[in-house]
Chains A and B, each alone.
Chain A
Amino acid sequence: MAGRAGFSLQGRQAFYFALLLAPPLLWLGIVYLGSLFTLLLQSFHAIDEFTARIVPQFTLATYRQLLTQPAHIDIIVRTLLMAVAVTLAAAVIAFPVALYMARYAGPRIKALFYVGVMLPMWTSYLVKVYAWRLILAKQGIASWGFEQFGLMGALDRALEVPVVGGPSLASSYIGMFVVFVYMWLPFMILPLAAALERVPASLLQASADLGARPGQTFRNVVLPLALPGLAAGSIFTFSLTLGDYIIPSVVGAPGYFIGMMVYQQQGTAGNLPLAAAFAVVPIVLIGLYLALARRLGAFDAL
């Protein structure tokens, strides 16, 4: 693609291009990649237990500490499971919305949907999280709604489920999951809608023309061609959940998440190497996720 659209740059033009590209490249190269490298470096240092000072020497002690303490493993597994669950739910909820926006809505309805999807992002993140705590509280709107429809029994039974349940939605993993899905849904809908919009109508017609029923066309043509969008959206939902520390500390059960651990270790605990090691975990997990997505052919249609 680049070869076809690209053209060679010469002389003055190349100079201006370099001038334009220098600031963003410096920003990405030094400020971003530099910090990332420092972070990685920090994780290979360790803290002196006695003096609480960082010893600037290469050691795997911090990683040993990260991966051998059962409490740390719990935190990683808990965060990972939540990220996977949120990503799957966001994909399932987003797909019909994105499909409708991209293929069936008229221009006005489509614009309305885009605004509707993006509007929540104009509101402060913190305001939304605290609003959700109120919505999900024991006497909140959510339980009132369940009561109105006579579903209080179902809600109670769901909250009785071990691990994910709790005394109220606001203090259970179910509630936290709901808030995560709500928060990241736009990041799934938008790339998915963009991918679906790029599928030419003639491909769907060709599929039907060759004898495919609508369900077959969906499985064989729409879904594979939407995969790059699904992959892009899931990278957002997956990595945002892995790194978030505000939602788990405001809504849900008291168990720690990776983000909270990073926040606490570099702040109150002052163990910068362990905070850095925890911060490396999401990077590794996303790397593994991308490799898996590539293996499954998510980027083949690009």
Chain B
Amino acid sequence: MRYSYYPGCSLHSTGLPYDKSVRAVFEALDVELLEIDDWNCCGATAYMSVKETVACVVSARNLALAEPAGLDIIAPCSACFTVLNKTRSFVREMPEFRRNVEASLAEGGLSCRFDLPVRHPLEVLINDIGARRIAGQRVRHLNGLRVACYYGCQIVRPERAVLEDPEVPMALDDLVAALGATPVDYPPKVRCCGGMLVATCEDLARRLCAELCDWARHEKADCIVTTCPLCQANLELLQARGNGQSRPVPVLYFTQLVGLALGCSAEAVGLEQNLYPLKYDFPVLAEASSHA
């Protein structure tokens, strides 16, 4: 199995542990990720909301570069996932807009048919590989670990990564449960973390993140798992400043948890790079240790 891989800018900086753990998980599952050569910024929300054609052209360059390989594209960042998919649906629904995007791409000697699907790793893990197979390859067990599964906004709406109820998605909960951990009841699982408001309207973002962390504490969760680098950074950083009274909640990428269960080292999934590392000793499964 092979996929094109679009890490996006965040995964080369604040989201480094996400990049590491996505690669580690797919390697452990024997799936090859081919990074799109010379990829550029997806355009991101900051651009999309201001200059539409420019944003879509910047984003389309990546789709064009991925096309020769002919593989489905994996985009782990929720914002990249949304922007790349939004570009695809805009050009498909608006012929004139498509001509403008194509004319712009041609200036750089590129063309694009826009037919390769852009997918989120959560959906790929569940649909192409399957929770059962992943669970079967476990080396460590997560029994007793209480996890708040946080989906955030952009993989459940408007471009749905996983085809299920956008109000109460369960894909991540099911995956976490298959690994042996306990997904806690987490009503704000699709509520907004504030996104880019962290830069433009920090107090508001802080209020939203505090609510998300309070819910997790209330449910006695050992950690929150996220599917997006901006959610992860916001939840970690905004609880780091202010809000000093409450115990900090570790915020992990879901791929870090999957990687640990599959036997990847804490270093391989970038666990020490989280601000609040998870305190849990991940015991080795009895069957796995007898094989060793």
- A and B part of one assembly: no
Chain A interface (Cβ within 8 Å of chain B)? none
Chain B residues close to A by CB (< 8 Å) = none
